[in-house]
Amino acid sequence: MAIFILVFTLLVAFLAIALLLGIAPISSKAKYRTMYVGATLMILIAFMTCDYIDIQTDMTAKIRFHAVLALAIAVGYFCIAVAYMEKYNTVKRKNQKLEEALTAKEQEKVSILLEHQNEKQQALLQGELEWLAGKIKMFTEEEQKAILASALSFAQHDLILPPSIKIQPNETCSQQELMYYVCSAFFNMGKKRNDIVSFLIQVFPLYFPAGESALTKKMPGMDKVRERREKENRLV
């Protein structure tokens, strides 16, 4: 009876220690190594208990030591479970740190790429606006400034601001020529056809008195505009 009480008390004490170690703020490596040692001890205790049960003649003593055996096995399984959980958490933390590091690197790459793209986009916008500025020299200086201010707002912010003055039709710049100039510049910036139509109507209302639907029908296609632009570039 005294041996039973001693062994049972030791097992309960070890179970309590294992529970405390499971939540203790120690390193994962030390924790799962301790749990493996505990599981090994429980296996030894289980074998010793089996041998002790075999030599018992009293049925009550056998039942008691069967309880000890069951408790030793339960504590052993608990130690193994804690050890594997700690290993799993360790691997999970390592993978999470690796993912975070990779994510940070990818974000850095994306930021650099976006920065280069923004620089290229700004250079493209500037080049196209300069090209457009060269094509509208037939208008007065005041009209040129008003047109370019509206074009800059549309190019950078997709915002169409009608000019402060009415752009008067110029006999040296036909309706078709004006459409080509504006479409060529904004198509190259990636602007949509409907938005370009709105820009032309609001910035050059005197050029297109028939309204938006009539202008939409007259608008040249992207392919024709780019084909003409390429021909002009080759001639230059």
User: 196-213: per-residue pLDDT in tens?
Assistant: 999 999 999 999 999 899
Average pLDDT over residues 182-199: 93
Q: Which one has a higher pLDDT value, 110 or 171?
A: 171
| Cα–Cα dist 193/137, whole Å | 24
Alpha-carbon dihedral angle through residues 122, 221, 206, 140, given to the nearest 10 degrees: 40
More confident residue, 96 or 3: 96
**Separation of alpha carbons 173 and 185, rounded Å:** 16
pLDDT digits (tens, 9 = 90+) for 12-71: 656 665 655 556 565 666 666 667 667 677 777 676 766 656 666 666 666 665 676 676
Q: Check if the beta carbon of residue 187 is closer than 8 Å to that of residue 225.
A: yes
Q: For residues 41 and 236, what is the distance between their CA atoms, to the nearest angstrom?
A: 90
Residue 67's identity, in one-letter code, is A
Place of tokens 């078709």: 176
| CA–CA dist 12, 2 (Å, integer) | 15
Most confident by average pLDDT, 71-75, 204-208, 225-229: 204-208
Residue type, 118: N
Residue 178: predicted pLDDT? 94
Q: Which of 105, 144, 131, 117 is nearest to 185 (CA)?
A: 131
Q: Is the pLDDT of residue 167 over 80?
A: yes
Q: Across-strand partners of 170? A: 173
Residue type, 217: K
- Other CB atoms within 10 Å distance of the CB of residue 22: 16
Residue 99 has pLDDT above 90, yes or no: no
Helix 193-203 to helix 141-157 angle (10° resolution) is 150
Can you give the pLDDT at residue 143? 94
Whole-angstrom distance, CA of residue 56 vs CA of residue 67: 14
Q: Which residues pair with 173 in a beta bridge?
A: 170
Write the pLDDT tens digit of every residue in 110-134. Answer: 566 656 667 888 888 889 999 999 9
- CB 197 within 8 Å of CB 216: yes
Q: What integer pLDDT is reported at residue 84 of this predicted model?
A: 73
Q: State percent of the chain over pLDDT 70.
A: 62
- Asked whether residue 10 carries a pLDDT value surpassing 70, the answer given is no
3-class DSSP string for 37-59: HHHHHHHHHHHHHHHHHHCCCCH
Q: Which residues contact 77 (CB under 8 A, 6 or more apart)?
A: 39
* pTM confidence score: 0.53
Identify the band that residue 97 occupies on the pLDDT scale cut at 50, 70 and 90.
confident
